[in-house]
Chain A
């Protein structure tokens, strides 16, 4: 049972004391109790150590510079840290871009212009395969839909698995940068009772062009890997763009 000082639990008083939210009378009563109760004294020390550990700063200088750089990079595209054009001028500029894209498309030269527009959703690579009797559809999609807030685009990898028979097993959606150990984007440790399954996750961010291999690994019960889908991911426009290889 929790020890008490007056009507309040000692742990509550200890926490309030650390937070500077305890009156003088309560502080005196708590101190008096702690000097006579070893258990509560140990508890108070644990809370003090915990508070110090939580508040101890994590080294941040490199991260701060990276953060500033990322914010300034947005400047080049979106006006952060720069003089802002009046809204009217922005509207005119947008209208001109739309007109140029339309004219370019009509003249058959739209591809180059269009590439500057990150699509809402675009299938970059897709592969359907039969593993034993099971069917696997591996899809890589690129676009704003897959991005977190604050990013321009993301790359979403998904795997739809249809098992021919119900059986025990496990599966993982794996990826690897060429020449490095694989990582896991998602998985199901127990396939018991499952016939359909979808795994999905975003590709981790990259700082330079990177080639990823992506595949499904199934152990139900024998291990088998699907064919690898290979994509090239490049940082672009503040997010990522991907192309199938």
Chain B
């Protein structure tokens, strides 16, 4: 979804229209949802993350304030919203154990989700941004406003920690 061709085509920002926005929504929702749902505790939180991201892009794009490809802004806002959810979750000990559990969340998915939550929120969201969005180091650097080297080292740290969480230390 996010290959080199996408980057090239997005260098010229398409003029805003409802149709263009809906096309962006259709094209990106799978990735935004995968990122949000894997990080958030339930569908409702993930929907809030998606809503915040799409409304943010909509307003910037409609008002002519967009200075980057809409997809970049979209994923950055989604990442920030997801970080807020993760921080809020740990801070407030939000425990909805008695509510019905998500029937789609199997053991394997639950294990991955729990491991992601043990990472720093910024690292976990960056990891999902890369995995779900399919972004290269260069694209991630542009989205985050950081150097490629910084992105590379953050991803390395996150990936090694997540591997340890799931598979244990190396022998």
List residues of chain B with CB within 8 A of the CB of A56. Answer: 34
- Candidates A64, A71, A148, A184; contact of B96 at CB < 8 Å: A184
Is the pair B37, A71 in contact by a Cβ cutoff of 8 Å?
Answer: no
Q: Which of B34, B93, B94, B163 contacts A47 (CB 8 A)?
A: B163
A30-51 vs B, Cβ < 8 Å mask (1 yes, 0 no): 0000000001000100110011
Q: How many residues of B contact A (CB 8 A)?
A: 56
How distant is B113 from chain A, measured CB to nearest CB, in Å? 10
Q: Which residues of B are found within 8 Å of A64, using beta-carbon distances?
A: 25-26, 29-30, 33
CA distance A75 to B46 in the complex (A): 21
Say whether A67 contacts B156, CB under 8 Å.
Answer: no
A68 at the interface (CB under 8 A from B): yes
Known: A70-B47, A149-B52. A181 touches B171 (CB 8 A): no
B52–A66 CB distance below 8 A = no
A residues 102-159 in Cβ contact with B at 8 Å: 148-151
- For B54, the chain A residues whose CB sits under 8 A away are 67, 71
Chain B residues lying within 8 Å of A205, measured Cβ to Cβ, are 44
Q: How far is the CB of B133 from chain A (nearest CB, A)?
A: 10
Partner of B98, one of A57, A58, A183, A187: A183
**Per DSSP, are chain A's interface residues mostly helix, strand or loop, or mixed?**
mixed
Task: Tell me if A19 counts as interface (CB < 8 A to partner B).
Answer: yes
How far is B51's CA from A151's CA once the two chains are assembled, in angstroms? 9
Contact present for B96 and A57 (CB under 8 Å): no
Q: How many A-B residue pairs have CB under 8 A?
A: 132
Evaluate contact between B160 and A11: CB separation under 8 angstroms: yes
A129 to chain B, nearest CB (A): 23
Number of A residues, CB within 8 Å of B: 50
Tell me the minimal C-beta distance from B104 to chain A in angstroms. 7
Q: Are B18 and A55 in contact (CB under 8 A)?
A: no
A151 to B87 CA separation, bound complex (whole angstroms): 19
Residues in chain B near residue A47, CB distance under 8 A? 159, 163
Partner of A57, one of B34, B56, B112: B34
The B65-93 residues at the A interface (CB cut-off 8 A) are 81, 84, 92-93
**Interface of A with B (CB < 8 Å)?**
2, 11-12, 15-16, 19-21, 39, 43, 46-47, 50-51, 53-60, 63-64, 66-68, 70-71, 74, 80-81, 84, 148-151, 176, 180-187, 200-201, 204-205
Sample 5 A-B pairs with CB under 8 A, ordered by A number: A19-B155, A46-B163, A64-B25, A149-B81, A150-B56
